[in-house]
């Protein structure tokens, strides 16, 4: 079954109980550099049965100092295949703390490499637990899959691309307001403060509920209505390092707008002195 974006805990439970081998679960949690939390260690303590850990810092371009940049298509193929994933699989991604930190990034990565049969568990692991579903600490060995990546360049923007689009595209910054305004320092040391010229601030936190689940379609449409987006609007999302920018892309996808490009380097690149 193809889930276009969100899947609710009850639907995921039904899928897993149906013994569908084509469903692959990934915990894609990540944290800010200043956080004391180790998502991999937390995964080892408790995860949904059958899940694998998707590490955006490991499945990344290691030839650059920029954090968790997209890897090459070959490296993505090898990493994802090692997680037991093939192109025929339905991929369900979740986070240990809702959808913001990691899951939306992993969702975008799969789409950027041509795999659209991917969705996010709404509310993440907390929502799963709230419904009374169990977790385990036992790791599942993954059989090697066969995944072929085809990069969708329309979903990716680099520094040169965003420079060309300043004043033309709607550049949406998902960072918290204080960081966007330059009144609060970045969590990564050494970066300038401020924002990309002509960009607007749409904090990722404004797109989710207190439970860290995605806001309703009506609420999302209301948020984005202020920007008069139509089918001809060039859309670019950015943030601190390309993680929460994907929450903007995910929110817009859920209201029928699927052409958002992510500035992969984001402020980690733009804000360098």
Which position among 30, 119, 239, 246 bears the catalytic label?
Answer: 239
DSSP state of 121: E
Length of the chain: 273
Q: Residue 263 in 3-state DSSP? A: strand
* Known catalytic residue at 239: yes
Rounded to whole angstroms, how far apart are CA atoms 236 and 174?
A: 11
Sheet holding 156-157, edge to edge: 156-157, 260-263, 235-238, 170-173, 200-201
Rounded to whole angstroms, how far apart are CA atoms 118 and 3?
A: 7
DSSP state of 243: S
Let me know: does 25 contact 112? Beta carbons within 8 Å. Answer: no
Q: Which sequence positions are flagged as catalytic?
A: 239
């Amino acid at each position: 079954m193809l889930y276009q974006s969100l899947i609710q805990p009850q639907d995921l439970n039904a899928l897993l109980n149906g013994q569908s081998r084509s469903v692959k679960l990934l915990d894609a949690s990540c944290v800010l550099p200043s956080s004391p939390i180790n998502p991999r260690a937390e995964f080892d303590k408790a995860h949904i049965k059958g899940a694998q850990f998707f590490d955006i810092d490991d499945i990344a371009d290691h030839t650059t100092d920029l954090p968790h940049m997209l890897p090459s298509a070959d490296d993505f193929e090898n990493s994802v295949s090692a997680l037991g994933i093939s192109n025929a699989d339905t991929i369900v991604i979740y986070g240990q703390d809702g959808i913001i930190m990691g899951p939306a990034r992993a969702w975008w990565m799969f789409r950027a490499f041509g795999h659209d049969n991917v969705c996010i568990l709404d509310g993440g692991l907390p929502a799963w637990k709230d419904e009374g579903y169990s977790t385990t600490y036992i790791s599942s060995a993954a059989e090697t899959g066969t995944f072929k990546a085809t990069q969708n360049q329309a979903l990716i923007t680099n520094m040169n691309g965003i420079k060309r689009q300043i004043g033309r595209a709607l550049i949406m910054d998902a960072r918290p307001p204080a960081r966007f305004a330059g009144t609060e320092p970045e969590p990564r040391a050494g970066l300038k403060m401020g924002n990309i010229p002509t960009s607007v601030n749409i904090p990722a936190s404004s797109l989710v509920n207190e439970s860290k689940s995605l806001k309703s379609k009506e609420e999302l449409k209301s948020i984005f209505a202020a920007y008069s987006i139509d089918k001809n609007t060039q859309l670019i999302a950015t943030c601190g390092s390309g993680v929460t920018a994907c929450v903007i892309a995910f929110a817009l996808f859920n209201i029928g707008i699927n052409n958002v490009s992510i500035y992969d380097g984001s402020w980690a690149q733009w804000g360098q002195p």
